[in-house]
């Protein structure tokens, strides 16, 4: 067995385990930590695909920014054990059954899949290069890139305004 295949299987096991623990954990902070570990293992998959830039962006965006927003949301909601509704065991058992069945179906699909034979049309340009990606992003896609940044800024301002508590006298 090649080292790349062993690495893939280890990353796949970590991804599935941390995804399951994210859903199954009772503590929301632990769930968020498991989700960060799942994101890092997915970034490892990107590295196996030789997509280094995508792996780094995935770590920065998801493990950094998105998870910080999740943690702030969890802290703003002030989740307490007393107020939390306990799910019956049948719900947990159903989640486990769905997880196992989905895993079996996906594993069967991956085992029985056949690679596409033939040549892929290529342009000869390396889109993994940060220089080429930056040129395309900031020349051809400048307007959508700026719209996305404005959208994120407006969303951040909206979250700050929504989470701001009003004083009792007003």
131 and 81 both lie in a single domain: no
Whether residue 140 is predicted with pLDDT greater than 60 in this model: the reply is: yes
Q: What percent of the chain has pLDDT over 90?
A: 18
State whether 79 and 134 are in the same domain. no
pLDDT-based confidence at 44, cuts 50/70/90? Answer: very high
In a domain, 109, yes or no: no
Is residue 101 a part of any domain in this protein?
no
Instruction: Answer yes or no: is 134 within a domain.
Output: yes
User: Is residue 150 assigned to a domain?
Assistant: yes
pLDDT above 90 (res 161): no
Most confident range, picked from 44-48, 58-62, 76-80, 136-140: 44-48
Q: Which domain holds residue 43?
A: 1-86
Between CA 79 and CA 25 the distance in angstroms is: 14
Structural domain total, the chain: 2
Asked whether 50 and 128 are in contact (CB, 8 A), the reply is yes
pLDDT score recorded for residue 125: 65
3-state secondary structure (DSSP) of residue 166: coil
User: Do 26 and 75 fall into the same domain?
Assistant: yes
Whole-prediction pTM: 0.56
Cβ contact 79:59 at 8 Å: no
Q: Give the CATH number of the domain where residue 33 resides.
A: 1.20.120.1200
- Average pLDDT, integer, range 31-38: 87
122 in a structural domain:
no
């Amino acid at each position: 067995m090649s080292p790349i295949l062993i690495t893939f299987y280890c990353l796949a096991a970590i991804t599935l385990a941390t995804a399951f623990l994210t859903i199954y954990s009772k503590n929301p902070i632990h769930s968020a930590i498991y989700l960060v570990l799942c994101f890092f293992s997915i970034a490892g998959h990107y590295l196996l695909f030789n997509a280094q830039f995508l792996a780094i962006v995935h770590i920065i965006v998801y493990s950094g920014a998105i998870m910080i927003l999740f943690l702030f949301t969890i802290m703003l909601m002030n989740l307490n054990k007393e107020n939390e509704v306990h799910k019956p065991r049948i719900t947990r058992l159903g989640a486990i059954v769905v997880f196992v069945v989905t895993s079996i179906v996906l594993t069967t699909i991956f085992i029985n899949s056949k690679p596409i034979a033939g040549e892929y049309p290529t342009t000869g340009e390396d889109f993994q290069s940060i220089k080429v990606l930056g040129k395309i992003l900031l020349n051809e896609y400048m307007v959508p890139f700026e719209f996305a940044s404005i959208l994120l800024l407006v969303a951040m301002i909206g979250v700050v305004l929504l989470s701001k508590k009003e004083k009792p006298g007003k």
